[in-house]
Amino acid sequence: MTANSRCSAAEPPGLETQRREIESLLRECELRAGDSWYVVEHRWFEQWKEFVDGGDQNSSSFPGQIDNSDLFEDLDSYHLKERLVENEDFVLVPAEAWHKLLAWYGMVDSQPPLERKVVDLPSTLKVEVYPVEVFLCLHSNMENVITAQFSRTDNIQSIQRAMCQSFSVPSGSECRLWMKSSDTNCERLRNIHMSVLDTCLSSGMTVIMETRNADGTWPSSRPQIMRNSVEDQDSYRGQPGVCGLTNLGNTCFMNSALQCLSNTPPLTEYFLQSSYLEELNFTNPLGMKGEIAEAYADVIKQMWSGRHYSVVPRVFKTKVGHFASQFLGYQQHDSQELLSFLLDGLHEDLNRVKNKEYIELRDADGRPDQEVAEEAWRNHRRRNDSVIVDTFHGLFKSTLVCPECHKVSVTFDPFCYLSIPLPVSKERVMEVFFVSLDPHAKPVQHRVVVPKAGKVSDLCLALSEMTAVPPTQMVVADVFNHRFYRIYSDDESLSCILDRDDIFVYELSVLEEQDQVLLALYLRERSHYRDYGSGSSSYGTTLFGHPLLLNVRRSSCTQHTHTFDLSWRKRRRRMTKRSCTGLRPMASVMVSSAPAAPSFSCCCCCCYSHQNVSLDQLSGLSSHLARCVSSDEQQEAADELRPSQTELSCSETSTNSRSDDTATAAPPPDINHKQPSLDREEEKEENKQEEACSPSPPPNEQPAKRRACHKRRKSLFTIQAVNSNGTTERGTGEGGSAVSFSSQPYVAIDWDPDMKKRFYNENEAEKYVKHSSMEVPQQQATVQLQECIELFTTVETLEEENPWYCPVCKKHQLATKKLDLWSLPEVLIIHLKRFSYTKFTREKLDSIVEFPLRDLDFSGCLLRKSLSNGEPPSCYDLIAVSNHYGGLRDGHYTSYAMNKDNGQWYYFDDSKVTFATEDQIVTNAAYVLFYHRQDKMRKPTLANPSTGPAPSRSANDITSCKDDDAELGAASYVTMETD
């Protein structure tokens, strides 16, 4: 019997039986999502009902073959008419009833059966009479469009199969679909297992299919021509995998991790063979909807196409930042942290377990290790089954012992990589500058060894052994940007001081009085113009040079009239004789704890008070200025206020960086000046020289005129009270209120710019000498990888921040913990813990870890000394290394990796790739090591290339769309930027 024939091999049942069976099916059949129902023309069904109700087989009301002609717009396309109404234009019958009617009456020739699916709409079940009708086309030829209908319950994979069949796409081609929701924008149909209803695909929309290019990219990565056009492939043909990664801005950490994973053979082959497409897990709540796996696959396929010098991993970077906010932006991060996130993300995106069951973990309770380990691994695989687990996961044994009740808890836990510690020295080498009280001594750079957990007093004690200065006469400060960033107390921890800080240790004078103040002294240069914009009449100032610290008697600073002896006699010897009488440095000082500001003035050329604030108290200032003020040989002024033609150029050399730029300068010769005694006779002699140097006034010049001329002479500098930043507080300008000595006092010497240029030698001020300790080369610590692994398995006591809850004691205990290796993965990742972050310290260990390139044997480290039949050996060969250069605050990541196809080592530095030799790999920059188990390694399939230098590869060589394509206009292409 044919489907469209009324005749059948067996006669249909009686009319009453037909009526009863169909009515029963219509009455009892319920709508269930996914079931099929059929559309029957209402007029034909009503005539059938009349026929069976009459009970006459020969009645003229016989309906004939099922005919739905009235439901179609035309009989060529059999497109259903719009706005048909149920029970007026058609009726719906369940599949079983339809097949009975079709068997009894047949169907008009060539008419298709109108099968419709039951869809589960929000809050209701409904037969979709009108399915989704969409337009289908290929991305390479978007003018060739066909129309197809799909049920809302169909998945996207059914559309993909229909398109592959309709457009003759070769089998095995990797393709993906886009849903065109507007004229120019498309949305990726990422999950091919989702239904049409869930993807919001509706009638009238277009579905575009694209297939991956030979170079690993997708056509949608740039605008494509709708006409039949074929892209010119890049002419470059290189070794697959030997491809750089463009630095997008501090993304070297990401590039380093990607290069290491890219050269991990089992993982790369898994993606190159597109095995991931069948294992993408879009429903895993712990995953990233398959987006991380797809973004990683795109990068790998481009890198291993052999058609790129360098790849721009912009989409991958965006996806990582979307799912891990810590990697948003363009700050520097840790390659191991990125690697940890990526391996976990790939695992969850590719987890073959769709519904994770709850498993209650059991303690060993005295059971054999083998039994507990096998149980733990089975439980792990019941919830975690992916290529990441197959390749990178191992098992270690964790043993905890309660210090009180001695309860022993044994568990076996999986791991994806081993983070092993490096031996840490208990000592620390610090470089500091010592500023002596000697007026002519330059700062001396010392290298001292101190306890790593020591205090600032330990630093002073170590420096005292080199300088013979008692540690009680030292104060330690951090100098930054010409000011004191921090002044340390003796009991502060040395962990507060970082290696890059500029640390100065100042020698202090000994005062008999107990009531003394540590005075901080800054050097500032006044501007030529007053700062009218700030609402004050004071001058603007700029810090320069090195600040000073000195002891001052507190009691002397509370008096209203005292002279500051700035040891002008010493400075005068460094200046010209003419200038010594022409300059009158007036010191307007406001450094009192009294409510009113005392004004101190000093005519330093003729006033020598050794009382109160004396030379002994301000010896630090004296020595600094004695070294910095220009000498007689450097200053030969033609007259007292005109700069000399032979004057040295003293340009400002300071910067805003905290780096020690002076450390690279050659140390000047250490000139030891003999300090002359300042006795009465010498003082008289100097006064005579001053009189000789001074121009004689005309006989008829009046004393008042001489005083007025004397008043107009410029002062060399003034002294001002400031805050810790070196700025004058509002209201404490010249003649303002005083700064209280109840806190750390700060004073600034404000130089007149013209006077500073003439008489302050900045080159001399910046000089320093190196102590012999700086010439001793620092020993580079070297450890063996085996030592680090043994340290990893050493018994340790838990920290107070991470105690263990003892089930016997019913409280948290600082138990002892021991880790042992039980089973190792195919690819073993070893993370060297170079960065140490604790509550009190932060440091990077630059020790050289000697790790083998071949035959790394773990048989002595495994807890199981004998392997059962079928278990793999424990020998590994190195395949990749992630390197970190620099310190804690900054640095750069690169990588070494061995190509799986030719066995050649390469050095990857962002977009640059060069050949590498095995003797270059072991350095103190090695950070993350990748080892491949020997039984899984395959021999290279290609000959090893020449070991000569390979040409650097740049991301600028990436080809882009031709200009000819752009001339076709914006309407000729569609951009898919939402990927």
How many beta carbons lie within 10 A of that of residue 669, not counting itself?
A: 8
Check residue 257 and give its pLDDT: 96
Per the listing, tokens 């149909």 go with: 189
**Cα–Cα dist 673/196, whole Å:** 92
Write the pLDDT tens digit of every residue in 270-304.
999 999 998 999 888 999 989 999 999 999 999 99
Cross-strand bridge partners of residue 66: 107
Mean pLDDT of the region 763-774 = 87
Mean pLDDT of the region 218-232 = 49
In this predicted structure, the answer to whether residue 497 has a pLDDT above a threshold of 90 is no
Compute the Cα dihedral for 457, 463, 469, 474 and give only its sign: negative
**Cα–Cα dist 127/121, whole Å:** 10
Residue 39: name the closest of 109, 121, 113, 139 by CA.
Answer: 113
Active site (annotated) includes residue 557: no
Check residue 840 and give its pLDDT: 54
Per the listing, tokens 């200046």 go with: 575
Burial class, 946, CB count within 10 angstroms (exposed 0-12 / middle 13-18 / buried 19+): exposed
- Grade residue 460 by pLDDT with cuts at 50, 70 and 90: very high
Write the pLDDT tens digit of every residue in 244-275.
999 988 899 999 999 999 999 999 999 999 99
Mean pLDDT of the region 53-59 = 79
| Pairing assessment for the beta strands 539-553 and 408-415 based on DSSP bridges | unpaired
- Grade residue 234 by pLDDT with cuts at 50, 70 and 90: low
Q: Which residues contact 742 (CB under 8 A, 6 or more apart)?
A: 593
Q: Which of 528-542, 769-783, 871-885, 941-955 has the highest mean pLDDT?
A: 871-885
In this predicted structure, the answer to whether residue 782 has a pLDDT above a threshold of 90 is no
| CATH top-level class of 244-421+785-933 | alpha beta
Check residue 152 and give its pLDDT: 83
- Grade residue 713 by pLDDT with cuts at 50, 70 and 90: low
Domain map of the chain by residue range?
A: 15-119, 132-211, 244-421+785-933
Check residue 311 and give its pLDDT: 92
Mean pLDDT of the region 536-541 = 67
Check residue 737 and give its pLDDT: 41
Check residue 622 and give its pLDDT: 43
Tokens found for residue 400? 């905890």
**Kind and range of the H or E element at 836?**
strand 835-837
Packing angle of the helix pair 335-349, 252-262 (nearest 10 deg): 50
- Grade residue 826 by pLDDT with cuts at 50, 70 and 90: very high
**Cα–Cα dist 379/739, whole Å:** 71
Compute the Cα dihedral for 14, 19, 21, 22 and give only its sign: positive
Of 660-674, 739-753, 758-772, 906-920, the range with the lowest mean pLDDT is 660-674
pLDDT over 90 percentage in the chain: 31
Q: Is 322 helix (H, G, I), strand (E, B) or coil?
A: helix
Residue 98: name the closest of 121, 66, 72 by CA.
Answer: 66
Q: Which residues contact 314 (CB under 8 A, 6 or more apart)?
A: 248
Per the listing, tokens 């000729």 go with: 972
**Among 243, 252, 402, 628, which one carries the catalytic annotation?**
252
- Grade residue 183 by pLDDT with cuts at 50, 70 and 90: low
In this predicted structure, the answer to whether residue 909 has a pLDDT above a threshold of 90 is yes
How many beta carbons lie within 10 A of that of residue 606, not counting itself?
A: 11
- Grade residue 222 by pLDDT with cuts at 50, 70 and 90: low
Mean pLDDT of the region 501-528 = 84
| Pairing assessment for the beta strands 827-833 and 926-933 based on DSSP bridges | antiparallel
For the domain made up of 132-211, give the CATH fold.
Answer: Ubiquitin-like (UB roll) (3.10.20)
Check residue 973 and give its pLDDT: 37
Q: Which of 331-335, 872-876, 963-967 has the highest mean pLDDT?
A: 331-335
Check residue 551 and give its pLDDT: 82
In this predicted structure, the answer to whether residue 556 has a pLDDT above a threshold of 70 is no
In this predicted structure, the answer to whether residue 747 has a pLDDT above a threshold of 50 is yes
pLDDT over 70 percentage in the chain: 72
Mean pLDDT of the region 469-497 = 90
**Cα–Cα dist 102/8, whole Å:** 11
CATH match for 15-119 among 3.30.1240.10, 3.90.950.20, 3.40.140.10, 3.30.2230.10: 3.30.2230.10
Mean pLDDT of the region 914-926 = 94
In this predicted structure, the answer to whether residue 877 has a pLDDT above a threshold of 80 is yes
Task: Give the 3-state secondary structure of 923-975.
Answer: CCCEEEEEEEEHHHCCCCCCCCCCCCCCCCCCHHHCCCCCHHHHCCCHHHCCC
Using only the alpha carbons of the chain, give its radius of gyration.
44
Residue 339: name the closest of 253, 267, 419 by CA.
Answer: 253
* Cβ 598 vs Cβ 738: under 8 Å: yes
Check residue 871 and give its pLDDT: 64
Packing angle of the helix pair 291-303, 335-349 (nearest 10 deg): 110
Looking at every residue in the chain, the average pLDDT score rounds to 76
Check residue 707 and give its pLDDT: 54
Tokens found for residue 10? 């067996």
Mean pLDDT of the region 385-412 = 92
**Among 322, 380, 440, 892, which one carries the catalytic annotation?**
892
**Kind and range of the H or E element at 755?**
helix 753-759
Write the pLDDT tens digit of every residue in 438-448.
878 889 999 99
Residue type, 110: S
* Cβ 36 vs Cβ 77: under 8 Å: no
Q: Is 567 helix (H, G, I), strand (E, B) or coil?
A: coil
Alpha helical stretches, state H, 643-694: 680-693
pTM above 0.75, yes or no: no
Check residue 865 and give its pLDDT: 57
**Cα–Cα dist 622/548, whole Å:** 10
Active site (annotated) includes residue 380: no
Residue 528 DSSP label: E
Mean pLDDT of the region 411-439 = 88
* Cβ 440 vs Cβ 627: under 8 Å: yes
**Kind and range of the H or E element at 143?**
strand 141-150
* Cβ 749 vs Cβ 618: under 8 Å: no
Say how far residue 563 (Cα) sits from the centre of its chain: 57
Say how far residue 901 (Cα) sits from the centre of its chain: 32
Check residue 595 and give its pLDDT: 31
**643 or 370, which is more confident:** 370
**Kind and range of the H or E element at 316?**
helix 314-323
